[in-house]
Chains A and B, each alone.
Chain A
Amino acid sequence: MSALVPARPRLLRRSGGGTTTAIRCFGAFAVLLVLLAVCAPLIAPQDPNVGDVLSVLQPPSSQHWLGTDASGRDLFSRLVFGSRTALLGPLVVVLVATSVGTTLGVLAAWNRGWVDSLIGRLFDLVFSFPSMLLALLFVTVMSPGLFSAALAVSIAFVPAVGRLVRATALREVNEPYVQALRTQGFGPVAVCLRHVLPNVWPVIVAQVTMSFGYAMVELAGISFLGLGVQDPTADWGKMINTGQGSIVRGFPQESLYAGIALVLAVVCFISLGDLLSERRDGGPR
C-alpha cells in the first residue's frame, strides 16, 4: 500500500523525476542574473550612460573595476545594466511566442481537420524564413528598438513552440480522460484550459527556458547590427559591436566582457531547458 503520500499543491507536482544538482546550479545562476538585473542601480558603482572624456579606454582600476570604454563609461556598470535588456528582451519573446504558439498548437490539436492544416501551413511559412532575416525585415519596417526587435523574434519563435505543443496536446486530446470529460458535457474551452493545458505544461516549461536562451542570442545579434537597443542604453550585444573599434587599438575588454556575459547567460538557460525536458522525458507517465 502506498498510503499517506503527502499531498502537495497541484502546481508543484511535476510528472518527471527529481530535481538534480545540475538543475539547481543552473537555476541558481539564472536567479542570480535576475537579481543582478533587478538590483542593477544598487550594484553598479557608477552611472552606466555617463562617460568621462578624460578617462577613455582605461585598464581595470579600483575606480573602474573592469576599466572604461571608448567614451569613458564604466564597463562594469554597463555590464550590470546590460543584464536588464538581456533579460527583458527574451522575457517579452518568451511570453509572446509561448502564448501565441500554445494557443495555436492547442487549437490545431483540438480541432484537427482544416484548422490543423491551416495552422500547420502557417507554421511552415514562418519556419521557412531564417529567423534572423525575418526579424531584420520586421525591425526595418517597424522602428529599431528593443521591443520591436523582441516582437520580431517572437514571431520567428512561434512555430517551434506551436509545433511542440500541438504534438503533445494531440496525444492528450486522444486520451480517454478527455473523452470522459466531453461526455460529461464540459465545453472545449474548459477541457483545454483545465485539463489539456496542465498536462502539456511541463513540455512548455522546458521549451520556454530553452527559447529564452536562444532568444537572448538572436536579440544580441539584432543589437549587434544596431537595430535593437539604441544608444545610450547599455546592452551586451551592442557592447560587443561598439567594442570592436577598440580591439584594433589594443583594448579588447568591452567586447570580451560582454561576450563572456552573454555566453554564460545563454549556456545557463539552454542547459536548464535541456535538463528540464530530459527530466520530463525520463519521468513516469
Chain B
Amino acid sequence: MISQEPQESFAVPRDATAPVVRVRDLRKTFQPRSLLKIGQPVLAVDGVSLALPAGSTLAVVGESGSGKTTLARMIMGVETPTSGSIEFFGRAQPRRMRTRDRRAHARVIQMVFQNPYRSLDPRQSVGAAIDEVLRLHFDLGRQDSRARTAELFDLVRLSPTRLDALPRELSGGQRQRVCIARALATNPRAIILDEAVAALDVLVQAQVLNLLADVQEQTDVSYLFVTHDLAVVRQIADDVLVMWSGRVVEHGCAEEVLDHPEHPYTRLLRDSVPRPGWKPARRLMDDGPASPEHA
C-alpha cells in the first residue's frame, strides 16, 4: 500500500531515452464474482509485453474479447494487473494508484475512452471540462487557462464558439475531438486511444486520424491505438501488435504484418476486411481451446 515514490514520481523521467511505456509479461485474470467462488477465472490478458518509444504509434488489434481494452485499462491504472510490470520512462507504476499517483500519471499518459457519448460529464460545458483539467495540473489563472483551452480547441479544429456547449449539443465527432483536446491538455508523452474512432463515420474518422497525425508531428507524442479496424492501422500505425484471446500472436512493423501476416489469426483478421470482390468466409478458427499455433 505504501509507495515510497516522491510526489512527482512520474513527472520526472528516470531515463529519458527509455520508451515512454514498457510493459513486461502483463497478466490479468478476472475472478468470477459469486458467493461460492464457482466458475473458471477468466484470463483476459496473458503475458503481454510491449514497448512504446517516444513519437511512435503502436496499434493493438484483435477482435472483441481479445483483451486489448483490459491491456489499455491496466496501463492507464484503472485496472490492477494480476502480475507483470508497467514502466513509464523506466519508472514502475505503483500497484495501487492513489489520487496523487494518478495525477502524476496523467501528465505522462492520457486516455481517450471508447464512448465519446459517455466520457464527458453531461452537465458540464466542454470548455469547462478542459479548463478543469488544466487547472488541476497547472498553476494557471482564469485568463491563462481560458486562453489555453481555446488553443486546445483550435488544435483539434473545434470552433471556440463551442466552448460553452454541453456534450449533448455536439456531434459524435466533435465530442471525440473534445476528448482528444482534454487528453492533450496535460502535455502527455503518450495517449491511449481505445477504439477512439470506431464510433465515428468514415469521413469524421479520417478527419480525426489526420488530426492525430498532425498533433504527433507537432508534439512528438506517442499513441497506443487500440482498434479492430485494420484500415485504420495501415493509415496511422508504425508497429502493430495482434492479440488473440489475451495473448500476443504477432508483433512487428505495421506494413510488414499487414502485407505478409505470419500468423493464421492475423491472416484471418486481414481477410475479413470487406473489399471489392470479397465474400464473407466461414471462420477458419474457432473459439475452442485449440491454440492458434495449430489452427
**Which A residues fall within an 8 A CB radius of B?**
2-3, 5, 7, 10, 13, 15, 175-177, 179-188, 194-195, 198-199, 284-285
Contacts and interface: CB of A to CB of B under 8 A. Distances in A.
Interface residues of B, number: 36
Contacts of B168: 284
Contact of B122 (A15, A184, A186): A15
Contacts of B104: 185
A179 B99 contact: no
A185 B105 contact: yes
Contacts of B133: 184
B199 interface: no
A214 to B, nearest CB: 28
B103 A195 contact: no
Interface of B: 76-78, 99-100, 102-106, 110-111, 113-115, 118-125, 132-133, 136-137, 161, 164-166, 168-169, 179, 182, 186
11 contacts: A7-B125, A181-B121, A182-B102, A184-B103, A184-B133, A184-B136, A184-B186, A185-B103, A185-B136, A195-B123, A284-B168
Contact of A195 (B115, B121, B182): B121
B164 to A, nearest CB: 4
A189 to B, nearest CB: 10
Contacts of B124: 10, 195, 198
B125 A186 contact: no
Contacts of B115: 176
| A-B interface, 6 closest residue pairs, ranked by CB to CB distance from nearest | A185-B103, A185-B102, A7-B164, A176-B119, A187-B99, A176-B118
A187 B132 CA distance: 13
A10 B132 CA distance: 15
A179 B78 contact: yes
A15 B122 CA distance: 9
A20 B194 CA distance: 42
B166 A177 contact: no
Contacts of B78: 179, 182-183
B164 A180 contact: no
A185 B10 CA distance: 13
Nearest to A2: B169
A232 to B, nearest CB: 48
A179 B192 CA distance: 14
Nearest to A202: B123
B123 A198 contact: yes
B102 A183 contact: yes
Contact of A184 (B102, B118, B120, B123): B102
